[in-house]
Structures are given as C-alpha cells and as structure tokens.
C-alpha cells in the first residue's frame, strides 16, 4: 500500500532516465523488486534513493504472478498475451495542455503503451516511466516515432494537467508521452474494462494519502487492439525487443 505525505512529495522529483544495457530476464517478480541478474538503470538507482523509506505501491492487477515468456514463445514476443484482444477504450480526458484528449483518435495507427498510475506514487509508477523512456531511447528513431506512452492518472484530484506536465517532463525528452486526467469514476470504469483494478485514493487521519492500483503496461497495436500486457518487473530489453515487432506488424503494406 502506498502511503505518501503531500508535503514530502513536492520535494522529491525523479531525475531524467538514463538508458543502460540489461540482460533479458526469463521471469518477472510479482512486485517491482529488481532481480539480482539485472543491471539496474541509473534512473532506477536514483529513484530508489529518493523514495527510500516510503511504502511500495500495492499492486492488485490480476495475473501479476505470471512470468514473461522468453524467446521460445512462438511469436518471439516477450510480453504476456491477453486472454481477450480488447479494443482501445473510448476515453475522453484532459491532457497536460488543458485541452480535451480523445484517446482513440490521438493514438490511431500508433503502438500505444497505456498505464494507469499517479504522480505521488513512491516507486512503481516513476520507475516504470523511466524504464519506458530508456527503452524508447534505445530504439531506432523511425520505430520510436510510431510509439506513444499514455499515462492516465488514478489520482485526478491532485494530478492536475500542470502537475502531470511537470512530473512527466522528468521522464520524457520528447518521445511522445501523454499525461491525462479527468473524472475518477470514468478513469476507474475504463481501467476495469481492461482488467486493471483502480480503487479510489483514501485519506488517513494524519492527512497522508493511500492508494492501490494495478501496475501493468498495456500495449495496443497499430490496429487499436490490446496485444500484450507487461507486469511490474518487466525488463527494459523486453520492451526494446517487442516494440519494433509491434510497429512492423501494423505497418502499411
């Protein structure tokens, strides 16, 4: 369960991610603990230091015990295939520029990595964004230009467009990260259709906020369907391997 102090969060901002070479792991843990065989990205080391002493963000997404399969998988992909290929949800929210954002329209024809999280998250959310930025930075620019990361806030009361813009700036050097906020009930309902549990944030008597949320990265293909799920602990090299394949799979012929 993630417990954060509003006063403390404002003074702890993650640094920009730095890509590093890491070996491909054969399985991932249920939480965002880094395996011993993994070379830890600099950004992850910094984030660990920044958030030392905070409680980990609890994860209630179904299937978190599942391992990411390796290259023996038939299609060669490293993500987890969903039981059902769900379409990109029809979700109209507010972007970091304060303007309306139509998720389907703005991501049409692109590979989209959708993530539900919040900026006050002490560990999983910032580490995931840092890993995605590191992976995108390692891709050929032509491939990277066909990928978008969409971060949907599960704490819209605090994650205003300005807050989201400032937070995402630490991770996105211009790769195309979208930050979205809006009515919590709409966000929660959308997440649930995708199998991601997003309970509402709760306030403790001491004023600290507590929130649990599913922490999967959901990969939608260029056709708009959900094609892969990446649980917490996914290696950067798994994204580096899979994203060019997803981009090529939907490329015009």
Instruction: Encode pLDDT of 212-251 as tens digits.
Output: 777 899 999 999 999 999 999 899 999 999 999 999 997 6
Structural domain contains residue 124: yes
Asked whether residue 55 is assigned to any structural domain, the reply reads: no
Kindly report the CATH number assigned to the domain that includes residue 223. 3.40.30.10
pLDDT at 81: 92
**Side-chain half-sphere of 148: how many Cα atoms within 13 Å?**
20
Could you tell me the residue range of the domain that residue 80 belongs to?
72-200+215-253
What are the phi and psi torsion angles at 181 (to 5°)?
A: -140, 165
Q: What integer is the mean pLDDT of 20-27? A: 36
Nearest Cα neighbor of 58 from 199, 189, 159, 183 is 199
Examine the pLDDT at 193 and tell me if it is beyond 80: yes
Residue 12 lies in a domain: no
Is residue 59 in some structural domain?
A: no
pLDDT in tens, 111-128: 999 999 999 988 899 999
Look at residue 253 and tell me whether its pLDDT is greater than 70.
no
Q: What is the pTM of this model?
A: 0.72
In a domain, 128, yes or no: yes
Within a domain: 65: no
Domain count along the chain: 1
pLDDT band for position 25 (50/70/90)? very low
How does pLDDT run across 36-47, given as a tens digit for each residue?
A: 333 334 344 334
Residue 105 lies in a domain: yes
Confirm whether 16 is domain-assigned.
no
């Amino acid at each position: 369960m993630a417990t954060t102090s509003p006063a403390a969060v404002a003074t702890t901002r993650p640094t920009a991610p730095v890509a590093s070479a890491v070996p491909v792991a054969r399985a991932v843990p249920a939480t965002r603990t880094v395996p011993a065989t993994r070379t830890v990205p600099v950004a992850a080391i910094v984030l660990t230091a920044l958030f030392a002493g905070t409680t980990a963000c609890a994860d209630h997404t179904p299937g978190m015990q599942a391992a990411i399969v390796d290259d023996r998988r038939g299609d060669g992909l490293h993500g987890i295939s969903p039981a059902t290929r769900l379409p990109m949800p029809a979700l109209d929210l507010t972007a970091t520029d304060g303007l309306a954002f139509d998720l389907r329209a703005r991501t049409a024809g692109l590979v989209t990595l959708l993530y539900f999280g919040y900026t006050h998250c002490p560990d999983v959310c910032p580490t995931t964004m840092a890993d995605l930025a590191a992976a995108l930075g390692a891709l050929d620019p032509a491939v990277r230009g066909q990928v978008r990361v969409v971060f949907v806030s599960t704490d819209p009361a605090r994650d205003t467009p300005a807050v989201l813009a400032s937070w995402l700036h630490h991770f996105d050097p211009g790769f195309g990260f979208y930050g979205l906020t809006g009515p919590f009930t709409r966000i929660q309902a959308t997440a649930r259709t995708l199998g991601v549990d997003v309970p509402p944030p709760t306030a403790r008597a001491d004023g600290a906020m507590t929130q649990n949320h599913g922490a999967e990265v959901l990969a939608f293909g260029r056709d708009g369907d959900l094609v892969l799920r990446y649980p917490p602990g996914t290696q950067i090299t798994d994204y580096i391997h899979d994203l060019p394949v997803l981009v090529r799979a939907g490329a015009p012929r």
